[in-house]
Amino acid sequence: MKGFMRIDNVPVIAIDGPSASGKGTVAQRVAEKLGFHYLDSGALYRLVALAAMRSGVDLSNENTLSDVAAQLDVVFEGADIRFQSENVTSAIRTEACSNAASRIAAYPKVRTALLARQREFRQIPGLVADGRDMGSVVFPDAVLKIFLTASAETRAQRRLKQLMEKGIDANIATLLQDIRDRDARDSNRTVAPLQQGTDTNLLDTTSLNIAEAVDSVLKQYAGVCAKKHL
């Protein structure tokens, strides 16, 4: 059929990286520039964490958590995220939810339960996906894989600024320790650990602003398109 494109031929830009590296903002803006769909994979794990905490589920019970993941009643509406019809866009961004999500993401059964749902976001004309295993596990055939990072100190400062803008009190020393702890958990988990793959391009944003990081990704994608005639 003329004009038909197989799903596995739909281009994907995978942007992975540690907590507070800015990958979400960069990925979302790249998607907007290209007119692509956007997947915030971390939001799915945060939603599992939120649902579990609200239901009183033990965060060490992998089987129950995987059931929660499989039954998530979630709808993505632009920048808003609705869980059971409630707008939880802000609720899933708390530090408590973030830390719980990091613990939950280490469970193989939870990751398996969310895998198919993440892949459903791959739709014409293309997808920009951010997370920690987008290029290694979820979309291993992504046309461009970016590992976006920054120093732990820079990431802690960025997180502090975000929280202050929301009127939330925070301590830089505590944030820095939380980031280092989460880096250790994400990098050392047995399933889909956070790491830069051999086919992944490193983008260190320690000395870059958002616009510069977005421009770098767009230029790299343009280079890929020129080679593959996408």
Express each pLDDT in 127-172 by its tens digit.
999 999 999 999 999 999 999 999 999 999 999 998 888 888 889 9
Q: Which two tokens stand for residue 154?
A: 């820079």
| Residues ≥6 apart with Cβ < 8 Å to 155 | 18, 19, 20, 21, 22, 179
CB count in 10 Å sphere of residue 64: 15
Q: Is 24 annotated as a binding residue?
A: yes
Q: Is 154 annotated as a binding residue?
A: no
What does pTM read for this prediction?
0.86
Q: Is 105 annotated as a binding residue?
A: no
| Residues ≥6 apart with Cβ < 8 Å to 141 | 8, 12
Dist. CA 51–CA 86, nearest whole Å: 12
Q: Is 219 annotated as a binding residue?
A: no
Q: What 3-state class would DSSP assign to 70?
A: helix
Contact predicate 126/36, CB 8 Å: yes
Q: Is 112 annotated as a binding residue?
A: no
Express each pLDDT in 50-76 by its tens digit.
999 999 999 999 999 999 999 998 888
Going by the DSSP 8-state scheme, the letter that residue 8 receives in this structure is G
Q: Is 25 annotated as a binding residue?
A: yes
Contact predicate 105/111, CB 8 Å: yes
Structural domains for the chain: 12-228 (3.40.50.300)
Q: Is 223 annotated as a binding residue?
A: no
Going by the DSSP 8-state scheme, the letter that residue 9 receives in this structure is G
Q: Is 42 annotated as a binding residue?
A: no
| Strand duo 127-131 + 37-40: pairing | parallel
Q: How sure is the predictor about 208, in pLDDT bands with cuts at 50, 70 and 90?
A: very high
Q: Is 166 annotated as a binding residue?
A: no
Task: Out of 5-9, 108-112, 132-136, pick the least confident.
Answer: 5-9
